[in-house]
Structure 1
């Protein structure tokens, strides 16, 4: 059974109403979630409006935030695991679960009700057994979707427009520069608030969508650094299908039969990887590092040291014990397992063969 607390509880009333009224008929089974989201949005509206006004009024008096470090990689390539490990360093800031759920209220009312709100956190991420704790770092896709930026999460919430929202949220609508401008404005606003919440630390931001948008991020953050993690494409395909299939029962406010999930995965992977290769080609050597998930899994500390050395980051030796402690704590974690049918293997290879060959992968 889906939780009463839907991610859209973090929207403001205008954004929420626009999403609810422009995406087709809603499922009557989800009316309780929708009603709860509207109640929360209306209740928090005065506080979120005040917080937004104060952010605008104080912008000129705040120091610029440090250029973030972005963790990129196609869905299910190990970005979350890497994010969790690196965030053990107290030198990095990140987006907390409460900031993800209520992005307009990060600096105000969320802090007042943190103990109560933390009890509403799910035990895991729905798609795997990775625990969600009050200090678990999160990506920015959900908060940006709640704020009103184009996002593939809108396709999960309103699957009647799944394909349209996926293409718009992952690749943007190049015929409409306002879509990109709106995402950019919300992205900057969110990270400015998170920076304040994290006491000015350098932010560690993870988002699979950014795999194809390093060029756009460099225009916003010229000194940003990037970590790309890649994984066996055969596993990535199955795991990504599992990812979308598991989130739909939790988040969909409409019926979601016969969605073209496989087609979108097969088509988006090479498109995002080609964009990443093009965008990263001219980056300075200390701004981009690429790691193999399987190497990270076998020897995580060596891989983390490689990241620190390549990106010229300070603090590896001081924080290595923290990394080791976290890795020891999750040693018993069991990954999802998948079977590999010949027809699926053929389908994957017909779309992704250049990357399979480039990285030297085989069917597990």
Structure 2
């Protein structure tokens, strides 16, 4: 049985993130997927192509005006939030985004990575018009100015992103192995990915006047070694959550985003298999590589404990990482946290068969992060 997609989504293509890509990148992604677009999604593909064409002159303008300056900029050691999807990474990202001593990649910038330096005034209102007020998977607020996952920007800048697997889900497993774990990626692709990542952070450094950049991308949980090769002094905050909750919440994530992002249908059992495989693969890699991070540059927390009092629990994170301005940012942190005092995460019932399957596949993670079966 296929993942259900309401027919209204077929004729409403405006939330597809690839509209912020370049024509060359869009064609490379299409070619990598052999131009296999299910016919119901043709309007979505046409919309993306049209928007890319409209962005093209602005992209060339930005390149001419900013590129030489941007590529000379030094990037301060980034601060990475890592952890599997649905583990509390977004809430932590939103909270820390209120520290004005840090910069971050905004929702608008992830959708328009080619043009945000020179054309923000032109396009920000357009992007805001089509963005929902709430995130469909968890009802957290959404806005073009809020922090967002830079992986969307990387998918618009190059074909080397797992999120292209959300757009072409029949190849999602291959995208994971190739562009998260980089198991089968040629060295040229790895170097281009690094170059693209650095370029994006150089643009963000320019945007934020040299501030340190706060980043959040769940797929980076499996890229620790590569990130340290790029930024040896980077710091990391890893947040984990009960694996049962993660599994069920990730299913909801996919059920909500695939209808608005994908160019292909996917079978539900394939989606479930990918969820199990991704978690296992990304956390086996994380546990294998986390020792590469100097002890003083890594903090590991659990969502269940952090969320009880997020501001109080954020202070020791700042202390451990040697970030000295917590108290200057504390009023902004508290104001944000107070706005979510009545927020309750989605609750899920879990059957015995699913519980047994999750524990069988992810037992190593229960053991590593101290969760009861």
Relative to the length of structure 1, the TM-score reads 0.93
3-state SS of 2:117 partner:
coil
Partners of 1:22 and 1:361 in 2: CA distance:
40
Q: Which moved more, 1:103-112 or 1:168-177?
A: 168-177
Residues 149 and 182, structure 1, Cα contact 8 Å, conserved in 2: no
Partners of 1:42 and 1:226 in 2: CA distance:
38
Deviation at 1:274, TM superposition (A): 3.0
Q: Which residue of 2 aligns with 1:192?
A: 202
Residues 297-323 of structure 1: CA distance to partner in whole angstroms, max 9, x if unpaired? 112122201110110001111111111
Partners of 2:109 and 2:235 in 1: CA distance:
23
3-state SS of 1:336 partner:
coil
User: Would you say 1:141 and 2:151 are equivalent positions?
Assistant: yes
Task: Decide whether aligned partners of structure 1 residues 159 and 359 sit closer, same or farther in structure 2, where only a CA change above 3 A counts.
Answer: closer
Residues 318-353 of structure 1: CA distance to partner in whole angstroms, max 9, x if unpaired? 111111110111222231111111111111111211
1:207 pairs with one of 200, 217, 220 = 217
Alignment of 1:91-240 (within 5 A): 91-240=101-250
User: Would you say 1:7 and 2:42 are equivalent positions?
Assistant: no
3-state SS of 2:192 partner:
helix
Query: What's the Cα RMSD here?
Result: 1.9
Residues 163 and 260, structure 1, Cα contact 8 Å, conserved in 2: no
Residues 70 and 206, structure 2, Cα contact 8 Å, conserved in 1: no
* Unmatched 5+ stretches in structure 2: 1-7
3-state SS of 2:238 partner:
strand
* Unmatched 5+ stretches in structure 1: none
2:265 pairs with one of 234, 249, 255 = 255
1:29 pairs with one of 12, 29, 40 = 40
Deviation at 1:136, TM superposition (A): 1.0
Task: Decide whether aligned partners of structure 1 residues 300 and 283 sit closer, same or farther in structure 2, where only a CA change above 3 A counts.
Answer: same
Q: Which residue of 2 aligns with 1:57?
A: 68
User: Would you say 1:44 and 2:55 are equivalent positions?
Assistant: yes
Deviation at 1:175, TM superposition (A): 4.9
Alignment of 1:312-323 (within 5 A): 312-323=322-333
Deviation at 1:219, TM superposition (A): 0.9
Relative to the length of structure 2, the TM-score reads 0.91
Residues 121 and 132, structure 1, Cα contact 8 Å, conserved in 2: yes
3-state SS of 1:318 partner:
helix
Deviation at 1:232, TM superposition (A): 0.6
Deviation at 1:186, TM superposition (A): 1.2
